[in-house]
Amino acid sequence: MFLKKGRKKAMKIIVGLGNPGDKYSKTRHNVGWLFLDYLSEVYGIEVQKNNCDALVGEKNIDGEKIIFAKPMTFMNLSGNAVQKLKNWYKVEDKDIMILFDDIDIPFGTFRYREKGSGGSHNGMKDVVQKLGTQEIQRIRVGLGGLKHEKQDMVDFVLQRFSKEELAKLEEVFAEASKQVDEFIKSK
């Protein structure tokens, strides 16, 4: 099927924030990557091609090109990869969704927002700053309630999840994936 002249092909980018390397695998701060891994299985999208400082995977779903991406820039520079992806694929801000961890909401929950600041999350702050807009959809997966009050924040977010916590996260991902599905189907 050919597109009519002047009509842009529909496309969406879903980015899971995290840090590359085995050292960070299955840590609390890599929830965005873990969620994207879950979605990759659900949608059958392999995320392994190197492009725009990220690992990416692509698939057409209902006539819409869907791109899954894991920035390889480390968390605090996530905006660099997201900006490159946006420019490479020529998408609008409304067609980007970011998945990431959030210490400020309870563990075992998630929150969806159509826009907003980066909050206390440095990776999301960098995305907002680099794109120059807060008009970016996001799903924040809660880590709060697990942190011991005297524990260092960095030490906490770089800890690995227990098997029980990973099982709970899978339940959260299953529920939050309904919002991702709506995003994919939206025009």
Tens of each residue's pLDDT in the chain, 187 residues: 444 444 455 799 999 999 999 988 888 889 999 999 999 999 999 999 999 999 999 999 988 899 999 999 989 999 999 999 999 999 999 999 999 999 888 999 999 999 998 887 888 999 999 999 999 999 999 988 655 566 677 777 777 888 999 999 999 999 999 999 999 998 7
Asked if 107 contacts 99 with a C-beta cutoff of 8 angstroms, the reply is: no
Q: Pick the catalytic residue: 12, 29, 70, 121?
A: 29
SS3 78: helix
Torsion of CA 174, 178, 184, 187, to 10 degrees: -170
User: Does the predicted TM-score (pTM) go above 0.85?
Assistant: yes
Question: In this predicted structure, what is the pLDDT of residue 4?
Answer: 43
Question: In this predicted structure, what is the pLDDT of residue 135?
Answer: 94
- For the chain, the domains span 11-185
Domain 11-185, what fold?
Rossmann fold (3.40.50)
Other beta carbons within 10 angstroms of residue 45's beta carbon come to 19
Q: For residue 148, indicate whether it is catalytic.
A: no
The residue among 75, 132, 74 whose CA lies nearest residue 100 is: 75
